[in-house]
A = this chain, B = another copy of it.
Amino acid sequence: MKNTFGNSVSVTLFGESHGAQIGAVLDGLAPGIPVSEVYIAARLSRRRPSGAISTKRVEPDNFKIVSGVFNGFTTGTPLCILIPNENTKSGDYEATRALARPGHADYTAYCKYHGFEDYRGGGHFSGRLTAPLVAAGAVAMYALEQKGIRIGTHIARCAQIADRAFGDLERDLTFLQESQFAVLDPEAADKMRAAMKAAAEDGDSVGGVLETSVTGMPAGVGEPFFDSLESVLAHAMFSIPAVKGVEFGDGFALADGRGSQTNDSFAMQDDRIVTRTNHNGGINGGISNGMPILFRCAVKPTPSIYREQETVDFLQGRDRKILIKGRHDPAIVHRAVVVADCVTALVLCDMLTQRFGTDYLGPSRATSLEV
């Protein structure tokens, strides 16, 4: 299966940047989970572009849940969320359809779909598709919160400017949930915004690194082969357009250390088993150990830049130059924060449901009988 991900809880994605509607089907979530449209809207608004550091295409994201919710709760049957595309300017793309935009999927889409792909605005490859992913993921994230599992992502690095590391996680996650620009250190935030603006003024773009933390995750979730928690999370994160690297715990830095430095030793803490450090990001042998899950995703600079670039006309097979028009972001890393949160939530709902059964994320049975 291609546009469907997950085993026990799955999400199916559809739509194109300039099509009539985009959407997602979320299936397998327990019955009885409250669905808050306000919460979903808040998540979508964090993905939405704003101001000088984002594309001028602003969509209201008037999502509509057309199935799977009844009287405010999930039914347990597929939940379909639709988002209309309202602010499309398709004319922008016609002239350059056979000019492969560097860093984009135009050429590979052509190799795969032989010219039948909807080439307007990136079609199905567009970052616009992350809107329904966020909407579906927001439902999952809300479900996890009812179970005390919290997810938060900050921009750990952007344009070579570093945010401070996660500290008091509960406080940081609370801060991030409210934040429109997910940077823990206000000074770093200002610098990042400035760097984004500077890139925009140069007709250029910047990338960044997202760092995600999950607290409250029960131990014992994940598989040794092949569905390690790292495997499944990475699989999902690499589906997010522009993600080119994923690392857990200290990740690539682990490779430079010695075992005596990178092993997380265990200790008893109030009758609970914990690790003294968390170099392994809460995962041993592919399975959660009860410590916070921690991972980072590398987001490449937005490939759409306002400079002339070398390329080819792939229909005529000759060298050409391209100057991209349209409305684009000088950076997407700040908009991808909530995508990382929501995709993480989808994966965790799936893994927890596999592990503990289809009722696990729902209300206790006692409650449900009274409904």
Contact = CB atoms under 8 A, between A and B. Distances in A.
B27 A102 contact: no
A137 interface: no
Interface in A8-39: 8, 10, 12-16, 19-23, 25, 27-28, 31-32
Contacts of A109: 224, 285, 287
Interface stretch (A54-62, A163-171, A246-254): A246-254
Given A111-B220, A114-B31, A114-B362, A285 B77 contact: no
B287 A100 contact: no
A116 B310 contact: no
Nearest to A4: B4
A15 B319 contact: no
A250 B244 contact: yes
A77 B123 contact: yes
Contacts of A5: 225-226
A209 to B, nearest CB: 5
Interface string A159-191: 110000000000000000000000000000000
Given A75-B16, A244-B281, A254-B298, A260 B371 contact: no
Given A239-B228, A246-B246, A14 B19 contact: no
Interface residues of A, number: 160
A223 B312 contact: no
Contacts of A28: 1-2
Nearest to A371: B115
A116 B255 contact: no
Contacts of A358: 354-356
A121 interface: no
A303 B251 CA distance: 15
Interface in A47-101: 64, 66-68, 70, 73-80, 82, 100
A138 interface: no
Contacts of A70: 16, 116-118, 123
Contacts of A207: 254-257, 259, 262
- The 10 lowest CB-CB distance pairs between A and B, nearest first, are A105-B285, A245-B247, A111-B220, A357-B357, A205-B259, A108-B287, A31-B116, A77-B124, A5-B226, A102-B263
30 contacts: A15-B66, A23-B67, A31-B114, A32-B115, A67-B124, A76-B112, A77-B123, A102-B265, A102-B266, A108-B286, A108-B288, A160-B256, A202-B258, A204-B258, A205-B260, A207-B254, A207-B259, A227-B239, A238-B286, A244-B251, A244-B254, A245-B251, A247-B298, A252-B252, A257-B301, A262-B303, A267-B311, A273-B314, A356-B357, A356-B358
